[in-house]
Amino acid sequence: PITPGELLCLGSSLAFSGLFYYLYRKKARVMARIQEAPKLQVDDDLPALVSASDGRCLPYVALEGIVLPAKAALTSHYHEGLQGVIQKLLLKEHRLIWNSLARSW
């Protein structure tokens, strides 16, 4: 005999398993797209390539090239000889549309 509590636990376990599997597959597809991204060199041809692409945007592109610091390279306090630079972050905000059904932006 199965009690209602056991059925509730089984159902919630299956629901959470399905949800986590769906999220896993979604992230796996994104990772596959990133790994298959074309590798481009940072050179004089890159601006022409970007402006010729659809929407003037290259989704999932790996850029390879030499990075030069703006002022001085950062040195690690923990590992000798390890240097790095700070990446300039670009934030792109998407247009918000009011959803009257959910009453949210």
- pLDDT tens for 42-98 read 888 888 888 888 888 887 788 888 878 888 888 989 988 888 887 766 667 667 777
**Cβ atoms 95, 105 nearer than 8 A:** no
- Nearest-angstrom CA–CA distance, 11 and 5: 10
pTM of the model: 0.48
- pLDDT tens for 79-89 read 888 888 877 66
- Going by C-alpha positions, the residue among 34, 31, 32, 86 that lies closest to residue 61 is 34
Cα 69–chain centre separation: 24
**Cβ atoms 69, 85 nearer than 8 A:** yes
